[in-house]
Amino acid sequence: MGRRNISDAPWITKDGVIDISKLPLEYNFDAATGSNRQSALESIRVLKLATHYGRLDASVFLMGLLVSLPLEDWEMRSATVDALQYTHSQQCAMLLFSEIRRVKSSNTTRRYIDAILDVLGSFPEKLVRTEFEALAADTCFSYKMRQKFRALAEPEHGHFW
């Protein structure tokens, strides 16, 4: 094999910096769904970075990954939710709210639910306020959880900006 030229990698700029907007993500898609847990978690972090740079393909993949993960794999689910923090879309918000409704709060799931709330708290108010208000009124949740939802529904809470 001969030496590769930097022009063979269009995601590397003339200055030698990686341009995330052009970086191929297929390897990360494969690794995130593979059997090597550490590689999967590392790939999810790369995909989070890609979403931060506006890569819609990474956002769509991460939402699909969340839906496909084993229901009680809290570590992978939490990492995937965290990676969605820059995916401020109605579809992502609804997916995360459906997770809040699906998962029963317990000592085991509390960190996962808190991760979801942290991510949703960073979303624009117009995408989450109505849903937080609905959750705050839903007596299926504990008083403490409804208080969290109520606080997140308040614009002065500071999460929406």
Per-residue pLDDT of the chain (161 residues; tens, 9 = 90+): 444 555 566 666 677 777 677 788 999 999 999 999 999 999 999 999 999 999 999 999 999 999 999 999 999 999 999 999 999 999 999 999 999 999 999 999 999 999 999 999 999 999 999 999 999 999 999 999 999 999 999 876 545 43
The encoded tokens of residue 99 equal 């997770």
Same structural domain, 66 and 110: no
Do both 49 and 21 map to the same domain? yes
Spatial separation of the C-alpha atoms in residues 155 and 47, rounded to whole Å: 29
Does residue 18 lie in a domain region? yes
Distance CA 45, CA 22 (A): 17
Specify whether 68 is located in the same domain as 120.
Answer: no
User: Under a CB-based contact definition with an 8 Å cutoff, are residues 48 and 85 in contact?
Assistant: yes
Q: Which residues span the domain enclosing 63? A: 9-87
In a domain, 131, yes or no: yes
Domain boundary among 72, 87, 102: 87
d(CA 13, CA 7): 9
pTM: 0.86
**Within a domain: residue 137?**
yes
